[in-house]
Structure 1
């Protein structure tokens, strides 16, 4: 059996497993995308965000 056939039989043959696979992939993609864009935003704006400069203004 080829890899494609195995994946098809395990994940995509039944509607319930297909929907579960899509939901799981969506969840992990969203978490990864959110974390990476948050990291990129933090790096690009380092020193400009409130959490980086608030000690200058607090008494």
Structure 2
């Protein structure tokens, strides 16, 4: 287990360019995951109140 921190350090944190790339990738995946999670939560909380749930009542 002692080799894992040194491996992570040598592959990610040792060079600024790889650290910056890791930050950009982590930010992208976090943003995407947060967006999907918040959208899902909003849909669940407002289920039955959104237009896509009630539009069949108003369409001819």
Match status 1:10 vs 2:5:
no
Q: What's the CA shift for 1:8?
A: 0.8
Q: Which runs of 5+ in 1 are unaligned?
A: none
- Aligned alpha-carbon RMSD (Å): 0.9
- In the alignment, what sits opposite 2:28? 27
Q: Any runs of at least 4 consecutive aligned residues in structure 1 with deviations exceeding 4 A, and if so which?
A: none
The DSSP-based 3-state class of the residue aligned with 1:39 is helix
Q: Which runs of 5+ in 2 are unaligned?
A: none
Q: What's the CA shift for 1:57?
A: 0.8
**Corresponding pairs, count:** 59
Superposition pairs for residues 47-58 of structure 1, below 5 Å?
Answer: 47-58=48-59
Q: Normalized against structure 1, the TM-score is what?
A: 0.93
